[in-house]
Amino acid sequence: MSSDSFGRAEGLSAPSRRRFVQGLAVGGAVATLGLWPRSSWAVKAEGLPNVLSGTDFDLTIGETPMNFTGATRPAITVNGSVPAPLLRWREGTTVNLRVRNALPPGSIHGNQTSIHWHGILLPANMDGVPGLSFDGINRGEAYQYRFNVVQGGTYWYHSHSGFQEQAGLYGPLVIEPLEPEPFAYDRDYVVMLSDWTDLDPRHLFARLKKRSDFDNYAKQTVGDFFDDVKQHGWAPTVEDRKMWAGAMRMTPTDLSDVNGNTYTFLMNGTTSLGNWTGLFRSGEKVRLRFINGSAMTHFDVRIPGLKMTVVAADGQYVHPVTVDEFRIATAETFDVIVEPTGQDAFTIFAQDLGRTGYISGTLAVRDGLRAPVPDVGPKPLLTMDDMGHGGMGGGGHDMSSMSSSMAGMDHSGHDMSSMAGSAMAGGSMAGMDHGAGGMQQHPATETGNPLVDMQTMTPAPKLDDPGIGLRDNGRRVLTYADLRSTFRDPDGREPGRTVELHLTGHMERFAWSFDGLKFADAEPLRLNYGERMRIVLVNDTMMSHPIHLHGLWSDLEDESGNFMVRKHTIDMPPGTKRSYRVRADALGRWAYHCHLLYHMEAGMFREVRVEE
Ligand SMILES: [Cu+2]
């Protein structure tokens, strides 16, 4: 097969490329002895070809040539595969994992590696974040991870070194619980979603620093402009465009920094053409363990023709809730149960939040079947409400009413930071009606900060908001408000104190931080051992940030501060303010960061130190 018949690697040049690359029908490892490329979808054991179970594991991290797009590229692999092998543990056992660094000399991914066990409670020196409580694993060396498994559920693991996660070092983790599960099923599949690029991830990061909007050339066209003029009139349309281009330094289509224009999306390490397939018999209950192991992609998942009953989130049981669709942020996991019947095949469809591409697979009664694959949805537009400026204009929250209200304001310089500054100082905006919530205060470190290009004014929890691009689509879409743990607040104490942190950034500079301070410039967040405290996050940016705290659970609260659901990753869409409780019951130095890989690398990362 020639590369031309399937599309090829992305170049760095013109944005006139194909809209998205679907990839090879049969991607994966390129066998060195001529079996090229190897099929992985034919093996159905648990949805993945490589499954290791027990208490003792030998994992070798190396570089393996892979071909997902027509071009062969070096991937970072565990025991030769992408994703890394599915590990099956049992709650109540002690696991030993010998992880060996076999990266070749001169690897573009450096000399060092690591594995972090995402969402797993363990001693800090087993958490696998180089530079915190662990030194990393140097080439030719091995590290012995050993810890007690004290939880059950669906999790994953990945590298915490450089960009190795983007290059393939991620794998699913399934822990069989001690207690019987509160639901039944006949089959059990992992569905791990990820984003692959043929680019060297270092170059991708450099490209983001240089031109953060590279993947968002789908700007509104001249035609759109005249359509809007026809609909809204000349002045509001011009103001609308000026506001997005000037004030926000972005366009309302900038929903993700890297998207299907660069990425080939994978399901269990297979492209859409490869069509990962999970078999079923009509009427069976099938458990699907969705894991978002991507570097940068929020996926919207649905299986046309089937209801999905969500029974666990981030590995922890929730009261069952039946939906048509859910959004899964990077690093989250959702376990769902489906009962396929009446058709021989159903498509598992996951499109990215920015509607630039998708990955699909199939549930089928036998191999080789397919069901229709939906079109990628229309590109959603960010609204002012999405950015936490909802109450500003009064009236509707759409762009056109917003722009007309903006038109009457003094926004000389078109600079959101100065606008927010004047708002804070009680300036020109103070007289506006902002509703009951009042104006959001901001940390002093954000003021006049060249790495902060905007601030939210009226953020809200928005727990029952399906999110950008999912509202009013005629489907029942999961929201955080639907997620209720099957247990009460496991700590029970009221939080003794509250820490508020703002998610901040500068789109053009591709700078990302907490409170305007990059990791390198920030003090650790100190927690007292044993305390119950509350973290309030405010998203001052236009991007969604899935925030992950290592070592400790994040117990999400509702609008009134009541415990809702236990998670390890809390997604923070634009314009949101959300709070969760943390019990500081694990001593040591822990990572706390946005799980979008390039945001983390750019500085949206803090050390959390739990001390006596
Ligand atoms: Cu982020």
How close is the Cα of 178 to the center of ligand 1, in Å?
35
How close is the Cα of 34 to the center of ligand 1, in Å?
41
Which pLDDT value is given to residue 43? 36
Amino acid identity, position 126:
M
Q: What are φ and ψ of residue 314, in 5° steps?
A: 50, 40
Contacts of 609 (CB under 8 A, 6+ apart): 524, 525, 526, 527, 588, 589, 590
The answer to whether 318 and 486 have CB atoms below 8 angstroms apart is yes
C-alpha separations of 526 from 93, 128, 198, 584, 590 in Å: 31, 20, 40, 10, 10
How close is the Cα of 209 to the center of ligand 1, in Å?
14
Q: What are φ and ψ of residue 563, in 5° steps?
A: -60, 135
Which pLDDT value is given to residue 261? 86
User: What is the DSSP-derived secondary structure letter of residue 247?
Assistant: I
How close is the Cα of 512 to the center of ligand 1, in Å?
7
* CA 489 – CA 492 distance, rounded (Å): 5
Tokens read off for 147: 């810890």
Q: Would you call 594 helix, strand, or coil by DSSP?
A: strand
- Lowest mean per-residue pLDDT among 250-264, 346-360, 389-403: 389-403
Its pTM stands at 0.85
How close is the Cα of 350 to the center of ligand 1, in Å?
20
* CA 87 – CA 177 distance, rounded (Å): 14
* CA 386 – CA 454 distance, rounded (Å): 13
Of all residues in the chain, what percent carry a pLDDT higher than 70?
78
Tokens read off for 602: 């750019």
User: What is the DSSP-derived secondary structure letter of residue 316?
Assistant: E
How close is the Cα of 516 to the center of ligand 1, in Å?
13
How close is the Cα of 595 to the center of ligand 1, in Å?
6
Q: Which of 478, 53, 547 is nearest to 331 (CA)?
A: 547
Q: What is the pLDDT of residues 581-600, one digit of tens each?
A: 999 999 999 999 999 999 99
Structure-model confidence comparison of residues 384 and 113, the more confident one: 113
How close is the Cα of 488 to the center of ligand 1, in Å?
30
How close is the Cα of 599 to the center of ligand 1, in Å?
5
How close is the Cα of 249 to the center of ligand 1, in Å?
18
Q: What is the pLDDT of residues 285-321, one digit of tens each?
A: 999 999 999 999 999 999 999 999 999 999 999 999 9
- Any idea of the CA torsion for 388, 390, 391, 395, to the nearest 10 degrees? 170
How close is the Cα of 546 to the center of ligand 1, in Å?
6
- Residues in the chain, how many? 612
For the cut 70, the answer to whether the pLDDT of residue 520 exceeds it is yes
How close is the Cα of 547 to the center of ligand 1, in Å?
7
Q: Quickly state the pLDDT bin for 215 (edges 50, 70, 90).
A: confident
The answer to whether 271 and 68 have CB atoms below 8 angstroms apart is yes
For the cut 60, the answer to whether the pLDDT of residue 526 exceeds it is yes
How close is the Cα of 446 to the center of ligand 1, in Å?
17
How close is the Cα of 588 to the center of ligand 1, in Å?
24
Q: Is 438 exposed, middle or buried (0-12, 13-18, 19+ CB in 10 A)?
A: exposed
For the cut 90, the answer to whether the pLDDT of residue 145 exceeds it is yes
Residue recorded with tokens 């409670």: 121
How close is the Cα of 334 to the center of ligand 1, in Å?
20
How close is the Cα of 78 to the center of ligand 1, in Å?
26
Parallel, antiparallel or unpaired: strands 94-101 and 56-67 = parallel
Q: Which helix (H) or strand (E) holds 420?
A: helix 416-424
How close is the Cα of 105 to the center of ligand 1, in Å?
32
Contacts of 73 (CB under 8 A, 6+ apart): 9, 65, 66, 67, 198
How close is the Cα of 501 to the center of ligand 1, in Å?
13
How close is the Cα of 525 to the center of ligand 1, in Å?
18
Q: Would you call 342 helix, strand, or coil by DSSP?
A: coil
Q: Which of 171, 149, 184 is nearest to 75 (CA)?
A: 171
Contacts of 320 (CB under 8 A, 6+ apart): 183, 309, 310, 311, 337
Given 3-state DSSP classes, what are the helix, strand and coil percentages for the chain, each rounded to the nearest 5? 15, 35, 55
Q: Would you call 363 helix, strand, or coil by DSSP?
A: strand
Q: Would you call 43 helix, strand, or coil by DSSP?
A: coil
Q: Which of 597, 606, 608, 611 is nearest to 161 (CA)?
A: 597
Spell out the alpha helix ranges (H) of 233-266.
Answer: 234-242
The answer to whether 339 and 312 have CB atoms below 8 angstroms apart is no
Which pLDDT value is given to residue 46? 59
Rg from Cα positions in the chain: 23
How close is the Cα of 598 to the center of ligand 1, in Å?
8
* CA 192 – CA 291 distance, rounded (Å): 5
Which pLDDT value is given to residue 312? 98
Q: Quickly state the pLDDT bin for 211 (edges 50, 70, 90).
A: confident
How close is the Cα of 299 to the center of ligand 1, in Å?
15
C-alpha separations of 202 from 17, 206, 215, 531, 598 in Å: 21, 6, 16, 39, 10
HSE-CB of 318 using CA atoms within 13 angstroms: 30
Average pLDDT value for residue range 222-235 = 59
Spell out the alpha helix ranges (H) of 82-131.
Answer: none
How close is the Cα of 537 to the center of ligand 1, in Å?
12
- Any idea of the CA torsion for 426, 430, 436, 439, to the nearest 10 degrees? -40
How close is the Cα of 600 to the center of ligand 1, in Å?
7
Which pLDDT value is given to residue 257? 83
For the chain, the average pLDDT equals 84
How close is the Cα of 504 to the center of ligand 1, in Å?
9
How close is the Cα of 217 to the center of ligand 1, in Å?
21
The answer to whether 288 and 278 have CB atoms below 8 angstroms apart is yes
Which pLDDT value is given to residue 227? 61
* CA 544 – CA 468 distance, rounded (Å): 10
HSE-CB of 267 using CA atoms within 13 angstroms: 32
How close is the Cα of 412 to the center of ligand 1, in Å?
29
Q: Quickly state the pLDDT bin for 454 (edges 50, 70, 90).
A: confident
Which pLDDT value is given to residue 226? 57
How close is the Cα of 328 to the center of ligand 1, in Å?
14
How close is the Cα of 596 to the center of ligand 1, in Å?
5
Q: What is the pLDDT of residues 274-285, one digit of tens each?
A: 999 999 999 999
Q: Would you call 505 helix, strand, or coil by DSSP?
A: strand
Q: Which of 266, 331, 397, 404 is nearest to 597 (CA)?
A: 331
Tokens read off for 402: 């917003």
Of all residues in the chain, what percent carry a pLDDT higher than 90?
68
How close is the Cα of 544 to the center of ligand 1, in Å?
6
Q: What is the pLDDT of residues 115-141, one digit of tens each?
A: 999 999 999 999 999 999 899 999 999
The answer to whether 310 and 320 have CB atoms below 8 angstroms apart is yes
Which pLDDT value is given to residue 228? 61
How close is the Cα of 569 to the center of ligand 1, in Å?
12
How close is the Cα of 541 to the center of ligand 1, in Å?
9
Parallel, antiparallel or unpaired: strands 511-514 and 554-557 = unpaired
Which pLDDT value is given to residue 254? 66
Tokens read off for 316: 């922890």
How close is the Cα of 66 to the center of ligand 1, in Å?
28
For the cut 80, the answer to whether the pLDDT of residue 249 exceeds it is no
